[in-house]
Structure 1
Amino acid sequence: MSRTIIVSNRLPVKISKEESSFTLKVSEGGLATGLGSVYKQDDNIWIGWCGTEINDDEEKAQVIALLQKENLLPVFLSEEEILNYYEGFSNEILWPIFHYMSTYAQFEQKYWDYYQAVNQKFKQEVLAIAQPGDTIWIHDYQLLLLPKLIRDELKDVSIGFFQHIPFPSFELFRLIPWRAELLNGMLGADLIGFHTYDDVRHFTSSATRSIPVHATANIIQVADRNVLIDAFPMGIDAEKFESLSKDSKVQEEIANYNEILKDSKVILSVDRLDYSKGILQRLMAFEKVLTDNPEYIEKISLHMIVVPSRDSIAQYKELRDDIDKMVGNINARFRTSSWHPIHYFYRSFPVETLVALYSRADICLVTPMRDGMNLVSKEYIASRKDKGVLILSEMAGASKELADALIVNPNNLGEMYRAIIQAIEMPEEEQKSRMLALKDLVNKFDIHHWVKIFMDQLADIKVAEGIRKAKSVNANLQETFVKQMQEAQKRVFFLDYDGTLVGFKAEIDKAYPDEELYELLKDLNADARNQLVIISGRKYETLEQWFGHLDIDLIAEHGAWQKINGQYWATIPGLSDNWKTKVRSMLEAYSDRTPGSFIEEKRFSLAWHFRKVEKGLGELRANELESNLRYLTREMGLQVLAGNKVLEIKSSDINKGKAAFSYILDKDFDFMMALGDDHTDEDTFQQLPQRAITIKVGSSVSAANYYINSVEDVRSFLKKFVV
């Protein structure tokens, strides 16, 4: 029976040793709660570091036995491994780069060596229990290499990966010396999840610009697999926070706060100590509120909780010192005999105390400089009854969902200041209206919903991948096709050229046929029952130069020109190119501002090539040009075709599908096959009868019945039809 294996850096428990035995304390985190519905079922299991160094074999056995009862499996890491893999590579390279703090990154080779070694150690633990058919869900930036490591060993498993921190833009990500290895590691998964669409876009851009993979929308093609990249905004256990807010002990704490604070408005800030959280900027904004609005003195207060984190490291120690100084200065400057502007706590609190503070706080200030999601904002909402104001940084993933919060740029001191004033002065009715909308969203899209949609998507991909593999031209299908051909007496092969018979070249005229291709075509053509048709977007002069000496039929410029049975080249009657002048001027304007692009003129079409343009810029210009061309050509009877690094404009009366259909009309072919690699070939696939064997090269997303991976595979495949 297949099962689900969850893998993360840490297990959802804390292990402590008391005398000669170990005890477990289950984590109260949202991820542990949400995934509890998965790993605690049946034989499912969660693999992760146990949180403490254990070297004694007898003690390891005790821990393993204790954890097995909870469906948990430990990975034992040494202090040196934690220092270099976790504190080093994960938190001194990936964390600052992924949070746009590149100046803090320390690119140490030693860190990378340990990161690889620990990911290998996690792989061994997974492989020790995983079986074909299992689902493996890997979490976060500490294990970016793990999906591929598992995929290389186990082909028949379904692998999901979710990153809980942001993914940076390409310009930041490219700073990492081992970026290609990290991307390839992640692409071992079937489904890669992020909190926001921005992260999806950044990852896809980094992958296609760093390694030789191709993306269509949010699907990246890796060898013979499709990897889906998607956004899954993470929720919280909203029901738990709402019920805790009604708990008698929490209500007692709230009553104590009310007695102490009376009618004073409370602004709450809860963060882990980190330079990505924008704590100093928040303090500056609060100081400006008191400076410019002395009437708020003794009427508002900031309750700031900072949870200790890595404060032995220089940047964190410096940040803590700066926070201490700023809090001290503000309190010294504004406090009165009965009032402190800031209540600062450098420690963690139990969840019950946090819920009491959430319930009492009139305003919650969540303004990180960069954050994957930030669940504090959602915890605050879930803990509220009917009013309250959330001020939220646009740099937090949660801002993409929580539109009824006051959204601010944490770098804009004035904007943060104005948001705090707006929150303090906001009418109660507006507070209730905003909070009701926020609560509905947080309750609906909770942690359980997040787990469900991710797991459902992963299951759907597994089914889709099975269907896709059934379309792959594997060895069994090849034998079937060859047998069908051998039984047929009249056969036709429609063969696209670029991307099908030959690979793409930066210089389009250098993609000429090689001797192997000529031999293949001659061998196929040697059987009188075979009719070969090269059907291409190339100029007819080019096809004549390359293939005019062969006894095969040629269709050029997507069907505008045809050379059949060795006769002279002929064109479709009534075609005009009077439209070229107007369209050419637009193409020239884009070429002038896009270095590396060029215009190719054919008799009845124009093509704008961007194969040599800087990656990213070419796609950007092509999208813009295509949009403008569609507007321009709408009333001119023209069609805009997006090919591989090319946009082509031609008459809508011309397409490969019409040419192919016209070719087979009144001919009694009992075997038909068509191979092509881009959008222009889709017309051929759609126009041929259903019984035809239609094959897309390089992608399974097609109207074709089957797909094949590459030009090399096409040639090997066609050789099997040489009898």
Structure 2
Amino acid sequence: MRKTIIVSNRLPVKISETNGEYTLQPSEGGLATGLGSIYREGNNIWIGWPGQEITDQKDQDKVTKQLRKINLMPVYLTQDEINNFYEGFSNETLWPVFHYMAVYAHYEQSYWDAYYQVNKKFRDIIMKVAEPGDTIWIHDYQLLLLPGMIRAEMPEISIGFFQHIPFPSFELFRLIPWRAEILEGMLGADLMGFHTFDDTRHFLNAASRILPVNTSANVVSYNDRAIVVETFPMGIDYNKYAEMGKDPEVLQQVQNLRENFGNDRLVLSIDRLDYSKGILQRLQAFELLLQLHPEYIGKVVLYMIVVPSRDQVPQYKELRDEIDKQVGNINARFRTLAWHPIQYFYRSFPFETLSALYNFADICLVTPMRDGMNLVSKEYVASRSNNDGVLILSEMAGASKELIDAIIVNPNNIGAITRAIVDALNMPLPEQQRRMKQMRSVVSKFNINHWVKLFMTRLQEVNEMQKNMLARRVNQETAVLIRQQYFNSKKRIIFLDYDGTLVGFQPNIDQASPDPDLYQLLRELASIPGNDLVMISGRNHETLGEWFGHLDLDLIAEHGAWQKTKSGEWYQLPGLTDKWKKELLPIMELATDRTPGSFIEEKSYSLVWHYRKVESGLGELRANELMNTLRYYTVEKGLQVLPGDKVIEVKNVEINKGKAALSWLNHKKYDFIMAMGDDVTDEDIFKALPHKAITIKVGSQVSAAQYYLRSYHEVRHLLRTLRNRE
């Protein structure tokens, strides 16, 4: 029976031990809530670390047995692994770089080794329970290598991956020494999810610039697989927070807050201790408020909760000390006998108390320096059942892309945060309600269950898309069918493109000359009775004649502008003109002057702008600019602008590989027709040939062709099988 396997660094339980007895307490985190509906069903499983070191085998067996009853499976880690994998690589290498705080990052080989080994440990546990047909959903930055490790063991299994923290821009990500290995691991997934479009864009950019992959829109082609990268903003359990305000205990705590604070306005701040949360800047902004607006002294309180986290790590210890110092200074400077400006708590609070604070606070101040999503902002909005209150939100938090009716601030701009607090304190109730209604509608619709359903549905769609693509690959079965058709026929014609189809892609166009092996293969195929071989290329006719004129082949050069039969001379398509070149050449020269590494190739009736040597990213940018300019100038000139593999070509619209191929078919009747090509100009052949023809695209699955092969190596292998029947 098919099952879903959820994998995360931590299991959704807290384990406590008393006198050798272990008790399990369910976790209340957003992820645990959302995925509860999945892992508790049937034979589904959640795999992860139970949260503490358990070394004794008997204790491990005891805890494993307890966990299995609630569909959980533990991965036990040693203290060394916790120190180096979790505290080390995850939190001292990945966390600071991914949160744009690279100055805090440590690049230790021992951290990386532990990270690799623990990801392998997770893989081994998964392999014990995973079966063909299962779905695996891996979560977050601690397990970036895991998708690739599982893919290597089970190539056909369905794998989803979601990252809950930001993904940094290429310039930061490239600082990590093991950046290529990390990307290769992530690309083991079929569907990859991020909170924001920025994160998705950064990942695609990093993948295309670090690895030899092709990216088109949000699809990465890697190892003969299409991986989809999409944005899925995570939600919360809206109903839980909306209804908690009616709970008797919460209502009592709200009443207690009312008695304690009277008419004071409450500004709420809740964070985990971390340098990415912008806590110090928030304190500075509140201090500036009291300095510039003394009228708020005695009337506004900052209620600040900081949840303890890693406070033995030097940066975190320093941060805590600095927070203590700033809070102490502000309170000492502004307090009165009856009023303290900041109520500061360095501890976690029960859910009921947080709910009471969400319901009572006039303002919620959420200003992280960088955050994947930030669910506190959504929890506050969901709790405001009267549609009042104001949310001040950092533009660096993923939630700011959805909660656009909050007051959005730059967390580095202390003055802007101060002004935002003043605006919030003075905001009329109708304006508060207008904004809050809009935000509550968004949080209600895009809740945690919606997020889970959306991701799982999309993963199924991606798997279907991949199956459809795989069905068209020339596998052993289809190769046998092609051979049967070929050997059962008497008159055969094979159209072959050259660059990218028979030879690999070279940075220098003059280096892609034929090798002895290719010459031998073409000679043997051309010598078989009944075979007509046609080389149909975008190359200029002089080069094609020089390379292949001595072989028993027909040649079509410059996409059909020049043609030559085996024994004949070159002749050109009638009615063509090259007068348009004078107007378009300066436009291409301007693009070449602005783009180091690019160059122009001039053919008889076309101009080609090459950018294969240009820095990745810049070439694509200039190519898009040039395409737009050329389309404007060519629209009424009977010219065609064609994007290819690192090239843009402008040619007469009459020149078309499809038309050229059809003219060859008019001379003779063939009972076997095959065409192979790798770029956009070859699509004209695939579309023009009769339905019975065998058409094969090289290097890409997106095509009008019936089949595809991955590389020129596979093309040569298939052609070799056509030399004899054995």
Q: Secondary structure at the match of 1:403?
A: coil
CA, structure 1 residues 573+415, in 2 after alignment: closer, same or farther (shift >3 Å)? farther
SS of match in other structure, 1:471: coil
Q: Are 1:450 and 2:451 counterparts?
A: yes
Q: Does 1:577 align with 2:565?
A: no
2:237 aligned partner: 237
- Output the CA distance in 1 between the equivalents of 2:262 and 2:470: 67
Q: Does residue 1:207 correspond to 2:207, yes or no?
A: yes
Partner of 2:414: 413
Range 608-617 or range 409-418, more displaced? 409-418
Distance 1:429 1:349, change over 3 A: same
1:138 positional shift: 0.8
Deviation (angstroms), 1:161: 1.0
**Structure 2 partner of 1:502:** 503
SS at match of 1:76: coil
Match of 2:361 in 1: 361
Structure 2: distance between partners of 1:297 and 1:572? 87
Name segments (4+ residues, structure 1) moved above 6 Å. Answer: none
2:260 maps to 260
Q: CA deviation at 1:9?
A: 0.5
How many angstroms apart in 2 are the aligned matches of 1:640 and 1:322?
Answer: 61
Partner-residue secondary structure (3-state), 1:276: helix
Partner of 1:348: 348
* Structure 2 CA distance for aligned equivalents of residues 28 and 571 of structure 1: 75
**What code does the residue aligned with 2:311 have?**
D
Q: What is the aligned partner in structure 2 of residue 440 from structure 1?
A: 441
Give 2:129's aligned residue.
129
Structure 1 CA distance, aligned partners of 2:143 and 2:711?
31
Structure 2 partner of 1:620 = 621
Q: Which amino acid aligns with 1:485?
A: Y
The alignment status of 1:64 with 2:64, answered yes or no, reads: yes
Classify the secondary structure of the residue corresponding to 1:128.
Answer: helix
Residue equivalent to 2:425: 424
Residue 150 of structure 2: aligned partner: 150
Q: CA deviation at 1:631?
A: 2.5
Alpha-carbon distance change, 363 to 643 in structure 1, aligned in 2, over 3 angstroms? same
Does structure 1 residue 112 correspond to structure 2 residue 128?
no
Question: Structure 2 CA distance, aligned partners of 1:361 and 1:313?
Answer: 32
Q: Deviations over 1:25-75 (max 9, x none)?
A: 000011001111111111000000011111111111110110011100001
**Map of 1:386-397 to 2, 5 A cutoff?**
386-397=387-398
1:244-293 CA distances to partner (integer Å, 9 max, x unpaired)?
12212112211222232233222111111101111111112222222212
Task: Note the residue ranges of structure 2 that are not aligned, 5 or more in a row.
Answer: none
Task: Give 1:482 deviation, angstroms.
Answer: 0.6
1:50 aligned partner: 50
CA distance in 1, matches of 2:192, 2:402: 20
The residue that corresponds to 1:284 in the other structure is 284
The residue aligned with 2:296 is 296
Question: For residue 545 of structure 1, what is the amino acid of its counterpart?
Answer: E
Alignment of 1:627-666 (within 5 A): 627-665=628-666
Task: Report deviation, 1:666.
Answer: 5.8
Q: Distance in 1 between matches of 2:671 and 2:512?
A: 33
Q: Is the 8 A contact 1:220 1:226 kept in 2?
A: yes
- The change in CA–CA distance for 1:260 and 1:60 in structure 2 (over 3 A counts) is same
Give the corresponding residue for 2:484.
483
Aligned residues, how many? Answer: 723
Q: Judge which range, 652-661 or 217-226, deviates more.
A: 652-661
| In structure 2, C-alpha distance between the alignment counterparts of 1:665 and 1:282, rounded to whole Å | 78
2:16 is paired with a residue whose SS is strand
Cα deviation code 1:604-649 (max 9, x no counterpart): 1111111111112212221222222222322333222111111111
Alignment match, 1:16 = 16
1:270 maps to what in 2?
A: 270
Confirm whether residue 717 of structure 1 aligns to residue 701 of structure 2.
no
Residue aligned with 1:691, SS: coil
Contact 1:223–1:709, Cα closer than 8 Å, also in 2: no
SS at match of 1:16: strand
Query: What do the CA deviations read for 1:413-438 (whole angstroms, capped 9, x no partner)?
Result: 23222222222222221211111111
Kindly state the Cα deviation for residue 298 of structure 1 after the two structures are TM-superposed.
2.2
SS at match of 1:654: coil
Aligned: 1:511 with 2:504: no
Give the corresponding residue for 1:193: 193
Q: Which moved more, 1:489-498 or 1:28-37?
A: 489-498
Amino acid at match of 1:321: D
2:177 alignment partner, SS class: coil
Structure 2 residue 540 is matched with structure 1 residue 539: yes
> 2:678, 2:714 → 1: CA distance?
13
1:521 aligns with 522
Give the partner amino acid of 1:70.
I
The aligned amino acid for 2:53 is: E
Q: What corresponds to 1:160 in structure 2?
A: 160
- Partners of 2:269 and 2:214 lie apart in 1 by 43
Q: CA distance change for structure 1 residues 57 and 408 in 2, over 3 Å: closer, same or farther?
A: same
Q: How many Å separate the matches in 1 of 2:134 and 2:353?
A: 40
**Paired residue for 1:329?**
329
Identity %: 61
Shift of residue 211 of structure 1? Answer: 1.9
Q: 1:636 to 1:426 in 2, by over 3 A?
A: farther
Query: TM-score with structure 2 length normalisation?
Result: 0.97
When residues 413 and 579 of structure 1 are mapped into structure 2, their CA distance, relative to the original with a 3 A threshold, is farther
Shift of 1:296: 2.0
> In 2, are the aligned partners of 1:673 and 1:693 still within 8 Å (CA)?
yes
Given that 1:132 and 1:155 are in contact with CA atoms closer than 8 Å, whether structure 2 keeps it comes out as: no
After TM superposition, the structure 1 stretch with the greater mean CA deviation from structure 2, 485-494 or 255-264, is: 255-264
Separation (CA, whole Å) in 1 of partners of 2:573 and 2:291: 79
> More displaced, 615-624 or 123-132?
615-624
Superposition pairs for residues 579-594 of structure 1, below 5 Å?
579-594=580-595
1:705 equivalenced with 2:709 (yes/no): no
| 1:552-606 Cα shifts (integer Å, max 9, x gaps) | 1222222222223433322232222222222221211121121111111111111
Partner of 1:468: 469
**Residue-by-residue CA offset, 1:652-672 (whole Å, 9 max, x unaligned):** 332222322333246422222
Q: More deviation in 330-339 or 629-638?
A: 629-638
Separation in 1, partners of 2:424, 2:585:
56
- Whole-Å Cα distance in 2 between the matches of residues 375 and 218 of structure 1? 26
2 CA distance for matches of 1:257 and 1:633? Answer: 72
Determine the structure 2 residue equivalent to 1:74: 74
* Partner Cα separation in structure 2 for residue 78 and residue 444 of structure 1: 42
Q: Distance in 1 between matches of 2:256 and 2:402?
A: 34
The AA in structure 2 aligned to 1:578 is K
Determine helix, strand or coil for the equivalent of 2:670: coil
User: Alpha-carbon deviation of 1:367?
Assistant: 1.1
Is 1:694–2:692 an aligned residue pair?
A: no
Q: Deviations over 1:366-417 (max 9, x none)?
A: 1111111111111111111212221211111111222222222112223222
Distance (whole Å) between structure 1 residues aligned to residue 666 and residue 166 of structure 2: 56
Measure, in 2, the Cα distance between the counterparts of 1:428 and 1:227.
48
C-alpha deviation, 1:127, in angstroms: 0.6
Query: RMSD in angstroms over aligned alpha carbons?
Result: 1.4
Structure 2 CA distance for aligned equivalents of residues 184 and 320 of structure 1:
37
**In 1, Cα distance between equivalents of 2:25 and 2:242:** 23
